[in-house]
């Protein structure tokens, strides 16, 4: 018997008044215990108008007392309204036919809403599958639909690795197609799913999409690390960095969306995963024009016991396209190493002229504010902050804070900062390279600090707003604070707003430290 969680005063219940006294006396006899009671008397019936849905009746052999709410009064209302349809409760999970079916190379991971909307017609999904997972493997359910579905799929690998933790088999070479995984968003037919990804301007919430990309990359990385017997070696896979992501075309929230990805390059203990976000719209029916965004995530492997780097299964590209992606990833890996070496060198030989030029207007703001340019503003006057405690519900399967959660929170703060600065709804353009410096644990005090670093006003109809977000991991007990991540987002404003007379201000630094940060970002943009 499936318990009902709606009060019997709901119009969808048809109440049988004549039998209420008999049931009331039965309830009183069981009120002092937590037992269930049985009643042969039909009290009410409940059904969905959809013929595929089950019909519930209270005269089944066992009925839980805790879900029945009758007032003490003997005068019960007579409810005669017809049965109505209301949303069906269900969780996000993957329909499976065998333990590893959800991660097969050809099987997409379906993403559906938690509640059926007015135009939702998909079949119910097993609501009990996620509840059977070990609690140590199943983090809090705050996450996005994609995160829930991906971790549901990923948990089967962990269950097998825990049961067979001695599966320290030899490393094997795997093709990119063996790790390829896709996610399908049925926005056009799933009303409630669409509502979860829509912002107040009926556009895509890019922060949630970044969160989903990180979750998918994690699942793909674990899929690559599985052995032929389906077991996963006891290693930790963490996000090390994310390459620059540029939005190639606007993503609409009323058309179906697909994210697909695979491992494209593997080093000794690191791997690169490339993902594509595709969407076909009436404006771009050609599949070659459907790519909206490409993302490259780098994951590193650590031994779960020692914390040292762990070797990975190598990659064996077969098709010409796979070989080309491998070469491109190899070049990116070399460039990352060169960049790290360059950053360790002395940077005191910066162009002093460029620094002085940037600081000139800022010094006027500081020393002669009445004479400062009214079309400019100091960086420090654009700052916004957001602080939060890292709760257990935000952890990943390793007990640390999910990297996609950090990306989403940073993206939403950057969006808010750009909105407050421009005075109009901003449009996401790109997010620059992201490095994950420090892990974030449950119980940490996390602070996000953002500011508009600089603006680009060469094109008056398409100004660019560059926002910096720095995540600080603070531990008050230890009196320490460390930088966990640095994020750099670029937004623009709709041309309609610019035509209506909106004017974006120039942003200037007031200190040498701010000026150096601006120069570093400008140089990084030019080098890409």
Query: In sequence order, which residues have a C-beta less than 8 Å from that of residue 477 and are 6 or more positions away?
Result: none
Q: What is the DSSP string of 492-511?
A: EE-HHHHHTT--PPEEE-SS
Predicted confidence (pLDDT) per residue in 207-226, tens digit: 999 999 998 898 899 889 88
Task: Report the chain's mean pLDDT, rounded to a whole number.
Answer: 75
Could you give the percent of the chain with pLDDT greater than 90?
Answer: 42
Percent of the chain with pLDDT over 70: 64
**How much is the CA Rg of the chain, to the nearest whole Å?**
28
In this prediction, residue 394 has a pLDDT band, given cuts at 50, 70 and 90, of: confident
pLDDT given for residue 282 in this prediction? 85
Contacts of 438 (CB under 8 A, 6+ apart): 473, 482, 483, 484
- Output the pLDDT for position 305: 80
301 three-class SS: strand
Of the two residues 381 and 66, the one the predictor is more confident about is 381
Give me the architecture of the 351-527 domain, per CATH. Roll (3.10)
pLDDT at 155: 62
CA angle, residues 84, 85, 91, in degrees to nearest 5: 150
Query: 250-292, pLDDT tens digit by residue?
Result: 999 999 999 999 999 999 999 999 999 999 988 777 777 899 9
pLDDT of residue 349: 52
pLDDT band at 375 (very low <50, low <70, confident <90, very high): very high
Residue span(s) of the chain under CATH 3.10.129.10 come to 145-158+171-318, 351-527
Please spell the DSSP secondary structure of 209-256, one letter per residue: HHHHHHHHHHHHHHHHHB-TTS-B-SEEEEEEEE--EE-SSPPPSSS-
How many C-beta neighbours within 10 Å does residue 49 have?
10
pLDDT at residue 97, as a whole number: 43
Residue identified by tokens 């097998």 is 160
In angstroms, the CA 359 to CA 356 distance is 5
pLDDT in tens, 24-45: 554 455 444 444 444 444 433 3
* DSSP, res 290: -
- Nearest-CA neighbor of 270 among 322, 324, 181, 332? 332
Whether residue 307 has pLDDT greater than 70: yes
Is the separation of the CB atoms in 401 and 440 below 8 Å?
Answer: yes
pLDDT higher than threshold 70 for residue 84: no
> How many Cα atoms within 13 Å fall on the side-chain side of residue 457?
12
pLDDT band at 143 (very low <50, low <70, confident <90, very high): low
Mean pLDDT within 352-379: 91
Please give the full DSSP string across 323-350, using - where no structure is assigned.
HHHHHHHHHHHHHHHHHHHHHHS--TT-
Mean pLDDT along residues 165-175: 68
Q: Quote the tokens at residue 107.
A: 């099987």
- Lowest-pLDDT choice from 88-102, 147-161, 180-194, 502-516: 88-102
Please give the pLDDT value at position 260.
Answer: 93
Contact 442, 520 (CB under 8 A): no
- Is residue 142 scored above 60 in pLDDT? no
Tell me if the domain spanning 145-158+171-318 has CATH number 3.10.129.10. yes
Give me the pLDDT at residue 396, please: 74
- Enter the tokens of residue 395: 């952890």
Identify the sign of the CA torsion 102, 103, 104, 107. Answer: positive
């Amino acid at each position: 018997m499936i318990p009902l969680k709606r009060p019997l005063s709901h119009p969808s219940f048809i109440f049988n008044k004549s039998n209420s006294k008999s049931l009331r006396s039965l309830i009183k006899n069981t009120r002092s215990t937590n037992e269930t009671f049985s009643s042969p008397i039909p009290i009410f019936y409940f059904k969905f108008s959809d013929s595929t849905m089950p019909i519930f009746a209270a005269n089944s052999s066992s009925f839980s007392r805790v879900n029945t709410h009758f007032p003490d009064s003997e005068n019960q209302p007579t409810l005669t309204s017809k049965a109505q349809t209301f949303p069906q409760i269900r969780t996000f999970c993957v329909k499976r036919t065998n333990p590893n079916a959800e991660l097969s190379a050809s099987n997409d991971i379906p993403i559906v809403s938690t509640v059926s909307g007015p135009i939702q017609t998909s079949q119910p999904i097993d609501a009990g599958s996620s509840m059977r997972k070990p609690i140590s493997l199943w983090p809090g359910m705050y996450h996005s639909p994609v995160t829930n579905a991906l971790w549901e799929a990923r948990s089967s690998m962990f269950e097998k690795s825990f049961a067979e933790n001695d599966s320290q088999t030899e490393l094997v070479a795997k093709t990119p197609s063996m790790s390829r995984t896709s996610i399908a968003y049925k926005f056009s037919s799933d009303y409630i799913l669409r509502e979860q990804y829509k912002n107040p301007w009926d556009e895509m919430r890019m922060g949630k999409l970044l969160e989903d990309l990180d979750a998918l990359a994690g699942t793909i990385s674990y899929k690559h690390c599985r052995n032929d017997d389906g077991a996963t070696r006891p290693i930790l896979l963490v996000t090390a960095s994310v390459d620059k992501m540029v939005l190639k075309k606007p993503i609409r929230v009323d058309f179906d969306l697909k994210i697909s990805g695979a491992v494209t390059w593997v080093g000794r203990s690191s791997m690169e995963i490339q993902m594509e976000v595709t969407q076909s719209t009436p404006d771009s029916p050609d599949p070659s024009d459907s790519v909206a965004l490409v993302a490259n995530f780098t994951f590193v492997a650590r031994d779960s016991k020692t914390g040292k780097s762990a070797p990975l299964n190598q990659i064996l590209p077969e098709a010409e396209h796979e070989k080309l992606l491998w070469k491109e990833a190899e070049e990116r890996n070399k460039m990352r190493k060169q960049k790290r070496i360059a950053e360790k060198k002395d940077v005191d030989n910066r162009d002093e002229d460029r620094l002085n030029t940037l600081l000139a207007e800022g010094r006027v703001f500081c020393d002669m504010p009445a004479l400062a340019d009214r079309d400019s503003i100091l960086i420090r006057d654009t700052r916004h902050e957001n602080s939060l405690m890292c709760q257990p519900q935000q952890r990943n399967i390793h007990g640390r804070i999910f990297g996609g959660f950090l990306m989403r929170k940073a993206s939403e703060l950057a969006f808010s900062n750009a909105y407050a600065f421009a005075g109009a709804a901003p449009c996401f353009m790109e997010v620059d390279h992201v490095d994950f410096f420090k892990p974030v644990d449950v119980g940490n005090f996390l602070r996000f600090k953002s500011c508009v670093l600089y603006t680009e006003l060469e094109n008056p109809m398409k100004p660019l707003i560059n926002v910096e977000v720095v995540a600080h991991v603070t531990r008050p007990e230890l009196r320490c604070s460390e930088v966990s991540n640095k994020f750099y987002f670029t937004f623009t404003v709709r041309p309609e707003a610019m035509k209506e007379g909106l004017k974006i201000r120039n942003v200037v630094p007031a200190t040498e430290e701010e000026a150096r940060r601006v120069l570093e970002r400008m140089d990084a943009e030019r080098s890409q």
